[in-house]
Chain A
Amino acid sequence: MEILMSVTVGVLFMVGVYMILTKSILRVVMGLMLMSHGAHLLLLVMSGLKEGGPPLLGEDLTYYSDPLPQALILTAIVISFGVTSFILVLAYRTYKVHKTDDLDKLRGTADE
């Protein structure tokens, strides 16, 4: 299963990077979201996907899945949510001011 998940992570990164390299701001934001999905999944996969119970002590199991990466991913999800929404509003603001979402048109002039 680790190999399959590694390939999935690779696909997420590939599409994310492809989106980042396009002209539209919205697609860049989407690319960022896909890449953070990829990173989160990678964290989980790296800790091993052995069949075990959820990390809740009440279940009374002999084997639990690793709780530490889950805590790390939870932190990462919240942070990437904060950053992505900030960028999203920034993109929205850019639309409002410059009336375009084309990054090529948003480039500065040579004097700047």
Chain B
Amino acid sequence: MTWLHWAIVSPFLLAILIPFFYRYLRNVHTGWFVLVLPTVLFVFFLTYLPITSDGNTVEESVPWVPSLGIYFNAYVDGLSLLFALLISGIGALVVLYSIFYLSKKTEALNNFYVYLLMFMGAMLGVVLSDNLIVLYVFWELTSLASSLLISYWFHRDKSTYGAQKSMLITVFGGFSMLGGFSMLYVITGTFSIQGIIEQADAVLQSPLFLPTMLLVLLGAFTKSAQFPFHIWLPDAMEAPTPVSAYLHSATMVKAGIYLVARLTPVFGGTPEWFWLLSGFGIVTLMWGSISAVRQKDLKSILAFSTVSQLGLIMCLLGLGSAALYFGPGNEAQLYSAATLAAVFHLINHATFKGSLFMTAGIVDHETGTRDIRKLGGLMTLMPITFTISLVGTAAMAGLPPFNGFLSKEMFFTGTLQAYDLTIFNMENVGLIFPVFAWIASIFTFLYCLILFFRTFTGKFEPKNYDKHVHEAPMGMLISPIVLGSLVIIFGLFPNVLAYTLIEPAMVSILPNALATGESFVVDIYHWHGFNTEIFMTVGVIAFGSYLFVNMDKWNNSRFYLGERDPFNKSYDGMLANLISGSQAVTRIQMTGLLRDYFAYMLVFMILLLLYSMFRFDAFAINLTDATPIAGYIWVLTVIFIAATLMIPFINHRITAVIAIGIIGFLLALFFVIFRAPDLALTQLLVETVMVILLLLAFYHLPELRKETFKPVFKFTNFIISAGIGITVTLIALSAQDLRFNNGFEAISEYFIENSYDLAGGKNMVNIILVDFRALDTILEVLVLAIAALGVVAMIKMKFKGGEDV
């Protein structure tokens, strides 16, 4: 275990201690103890910055299940360090915010911080693991922790609904991802991601390439809320706001982005990867931004906005993967601009979305509502929150001089370059990228305007609020202020990140796009001259403002009034159908009638046995070695068969008992004919006792004495029983044939020759029972003893109080 491993495990260890802090140090808010850890971790990860910016990587290995190739490998390169810094940095800010957001008197803080630390550790594990199985384990832990956090207020129905939905969707994706990982292992023989990247060619040429890629992408898309799996994210907004800010904007939803970026060197450069990522990304971008406009709740707007921005990043990663198609050279450098935009926007989105969630939480906390139809005029009452929101929404809308403007320009550049691509059939359909991006940006601008102006401007109406509205306490404001400042800093000085974070991350995503000694040159600046991108931005601002100003004209339309995503209906329908469908199947199958279960088993037996006999052509009747039949045996057999066939038609119970006895005695007679004296003796005795038992048991039941059977001939039952009879006969005949033809002697010669010499007895059957195979006899005696005890217990024991069943 190195320091790096301890860093990943430390949140889990602290989570174990949290309940003790909560229990024994009630005067201090538990969050203060938690705050130390992410801060320390952030500083710890900063020490890796010099290493990764020089293009080096760190790999530390600890064996976990070495026999299966599972090692707890911690791997730090530009990409994982970027995520680790996001997780620990925003983690620290969120913990600080939550200290002021959650009251120590009314909330179960121990649960909250245990779940949050579990999530943080799991997330660090996801981004720092090099082993796919370890990554999967941490991946599922994030799903679990996320569901626990969404249902933090578990007495609310909506919280549990949201938690269940996110759990079902993300675990579904996670499970398919595990399938994809297993296929990668089958292809390459290693679980190590770096090892797989080295064998990327083998993966590309494998026949399993497409299913592997689809399964892995299913995991990434469900986690990162891509269309149409985005539906869990808006419902996850029932979580406390610090959770929404941390999990559902900055970290967990980017786990899918991370996975896609991490595996781009494996799958990238192929048309399938390019189209799936950029296609689903651009659709998610459109759908998310349009849906966000319809929302009336601040957090729902932000949730759909997150969906749409994640789609944007995913689309850029897809477009950037085209660089791998070309290999090292100028073209790769050109198309890698999209990847640069993706990484840059990833950082930007974490900063401004985190601060926006926190301000939405402040508004909710201080006014008691998040409904934009009730809010308004908070500008003068909450000046600091107002300022942070202004910065955040402006960055999200893509206005200069904030960082969102830069990433939006770079996004437009990326899509315009994609339009120029002449590979992957782009020359025909490439136009959709800039057009869709432009339309989505208009809607993005529109919901930013709604979010901002509906909350802070307009008339303040005190009757809309339950509380006395005032500015939030300073402690709650620190985190959004820090994030807001970062928005401005990254906006004004974008190149501070370029050499330290973005370039190493790009090398991790596109290693093959560089020739030896070459490096990505990242130079982000505001003014590019009068190019297409700037006119697109002007168009976005113009159209967005036009739509917002004329909102009265369209805000009564069905589009605006319907809030819920139409996909929720199909999800709920699917779930309901699954339940009712399985209930229907169970109702049909499980009738509760013994007869039906017998019938299932018997029909299955008939089909299986007859099929395998047909399959192996096992029908054989061998007459060569058959014993001749004496005349009296014919008579006896006919009587026996006739008596047996009579049984079902006997009406009276006692008569049936006697008929059963007759069959038993006839069987004893058969034993006599077939030279089995001991069997005949036993059969006679047993049959006598059985008949007496039957008579005793049923004759002495007074209330049933007069009853008679009502045998009803049932055709289905007859078919089944005839089938069994025929099957048994056929098997008996073909086994006879086998016995004559298999060429093996019976072992009985040994018993015949040795029973007197070795055991000193002349009755061979008895010698076998008590000498050669006496163990059978001991256990058979035991069976009788148990049966006898059971009978005694059933007759003697009376259970009290109506429980006698």
The reply to whether the CB of B459 lies closer than 8 angstroms to some CB of chain A is no
| B728 and A38 within 8 A (CB) | yes
| B633 and A1 within 8 A (CB) | yes
> Would you give the shortest CB distance from A14 to chain B, in whole angstroms?
3
Q: Which of A14, A30, A47 sits near B721, CB closer than 8 Å? A: A14
Q: Which of A68, A79, A103 sits near B748, CB closer than 8 Å? A: A68
| B732 and A9 within 8 A (CB) | yes
| A70 and B626 within 8 A (CB) | no
Give A59's nearest chain B residue, CB to CB.
B762
Over the window 705-734 of chain B, the binary record of Cβ atoms lying under 8 Å from chain A Cβ atoms (1 yes, 0 no) is 000010100100110111011101100110
The reply to whether the CB of B383 lies closer than 8 angstroms to some CB of chain A is no
Tell me the interface secondary structure of chain A in the complex.
Answer: helix
Give A14's nearest chain B residue, CB to CB.
B725
Interface centre among B675, B714, B733, B794 (most CB of A within 10 A): B675
Interface centre among A26, A38, A74 (most CB of B within 10 A): A74
Alpha-carbon separation in the docked complex, A44 to B680 (Å): 12
Q: Which of A51, A57, A85, A101 sits near B762, CB closer than 8 Å? A: A57
The residues of B that contact A42 with a CB separation of less than 8 Å are 728, 732
| B763 and A55 within 8 A (CB) | yes
Give A99's nearest chain B residue, CB to CB.
B703
| A2 and B627 within 8 A (CB) | yes
Known contacts A55-B675, A75-B776, A85-B791, A21 near B627 by CB under 8 Å: no
The residues of B that contact A84 with a CB separation of less than 8 Å are 690
> Would you give the shortest CB distance from B724 to chain A, in whole angstroms?
5
Enumerate B758-805 residues with CB–CB distance to A below 8 Å: 762-765, 768-769, 773, 776-777, 780, 783-784, 786-788, 790-791, 794-795, 804-805
| A21 and B714 within 8 A (CB) | yes
Give A84's nearest chain B residue, CB to CB.
B690
| B677 and A18 within 8 A (CB) | no
Q: Which of B267-275, B430-438, B512-520, B637-645 contacts A (4 or more CB under 8 A)?
A: B637-645
The residues of A that contact B660 with a CB separation of less than 8 Å are 30, 33-34
Alpha-carbon separation in the docked complex, A83 to B728 (Å): 23
The residues of A that contact B689 with a CB separation of less than 8 Å are 81, 85
| A6 and B733 within 8 A (CB) | yes
The residues of B that contact A67 with a CB separation of less than 8 Å are 748, 751-752, 755, 764-765, 768
Over the window 499-529 of chain B, the binary record of Cβ atoms lying under 8 Å from chain A Cβ atoms (1 yes, 0 no) is 0000000000000000000000000000000
Q: Which of B645, B664, B724, B735 sits near A17, CB closer than 8 Å? A: B724
The reply to whether the CB of B24 lies closer than 8 angstroms to some CB of chain A is no
Q: Which of B48-56, B208-216, B331-339, B593-601 contacts A (4 or more CB under 8 A)?
A: B593-601
Alpha-carbon separation in the docked complex, A54 to B762 (Å): 11
Give B711's nearest chain A residue, CB to CB.
A22
The reply to whether the CB of B704 lies closer than 8 angstroms to some CB of chain A is yes
| B594 and A86 within 8 A (CB) | no
| A66 and B748 within 8 A (CB) | yes
Over the window 46-72 of chain A, the binary record of Cβ atoms lying under 8 Å from chain B Cβ atoms (1 yes, 0 no) is 111111111111100000111110110
The residues of B that contact A103 with a CB separation of less than 8 Å are 593-595
Count of CB-CB pairs between chains A and B under 8 Å: 254
Tell me the interface secondary structure of chain B in the complex.
Answer: helix
> Would you give the shortest CB distance from A111 to chain B, in whole angstroms?
11
Alpha-carbon separation in the docked complex, A27 to B650 (Å): 11
The residues of B that contact A53 with a CB separation of less than 8 Å are 675
Q: Which of A40, A75, A88 sits near B697, CB closer than 8 Å? A: A88
Over the window 32-46 of chain A, the binary record of Cβ atoms lying under 8 Å from chain B Cβ atoms (1 yes, 0 no) is 011001101110111
Q: Which of B675, B780, B804 sits near A79, CB closer than 8 Å? A: B780
> Would you give the shortest CB distance from B312 to chain A, in whole angstroms?
52
Q: Which of B258-266, B357-365, B570-578, B666-674 contacts A (4 or more CB under 8 A)?
A: B666-674
Q: Which of B598, B641, B765, B783 sits near A74, CB closer than 8 Å? A: B765
| A11 and B641 within 8 A (CB) | yes
Alpha-carbon separation in the docked complex, A65 to B736 (Å): 16
| A4 and B686 within 8 A (CB) | no
The reply to whether the CB of B111 lies closer than 8 angstroms to some CB of chain A is no
| A15 and B645 within 8 A (CB) | yes
Known contacts A11-B645, A37-B667, A75-B769, A64 near B732 by CB under 8 Å: no
| A27 and B709 within 8 A (CB) | yes
The reply to whether the CB of B648 lies closer than 8 angstroms to some CB of chain A is yes
| A95 and B701 within 8 A (CB) | yes
Alpha-carbon separation in the docked complex, A8 to B694 (Å): 25
The residues of A that contact B769 with a CB separation of less than 8 Å are 71, 74-75
Alpha-carbon separation in the docked complex, A93 to B796 (Å): 11
Alpha-carbon separation in the docked complex, A78 to B777 (Å): 10
> Would you give the shortest CB distance from A24 to chain B, in whole angstroms?
6
The residues of A that contact B756 with a CB separation of less than 8 Å are 57
| B709 and A24 within 8 A (CB) | yes
The residues of B that contact A18 with a CB separation of less than 8 Å are 648, 717-718, 721
> Would you give the shortest CB distance from A47 to chain B, in whole angstroms?
7
Alpha-carbon separation in the docked complex, A18 to B790 (Å): 28
> Would you give the shortest CB distance from A63 to chain B, in whole angstroms?
9
Alpha-carbon separation in the docked complex, A97 to B805 (Å): 7
A-B contact pairs, 17 of them (CB 8 A): A11-B644, A15-B647, A22-B711, A33-B660, A34-B647, A37-B667, A41-B670, A49-B674, A54-B677, A57-B755, A57-B756, A75-B777, A81-B690, A82-B784, A82-B788, A83-B787, A85-B689
Chain A positions near chain B (C-beta within 8 angstroms): 1-24, 26-30, 33-34, 37-38, 40-42, 44-58, 64-68, 70-71, 73-75, 77-79, 81-86, 88-93, 95-97, 99, 101, 103-104, 107-108, 110
Given contacts A34-B660, A55-B765, 14 further A-B contacts (CB under 8 A): A3-B623, A7-B729, A15-B645, A15-B647, A26-B653, A33-B660, A33-B690, A41-B667, A67-B752, A74-B682, A75-B776, A79-B780, A85-B693, A88-B693
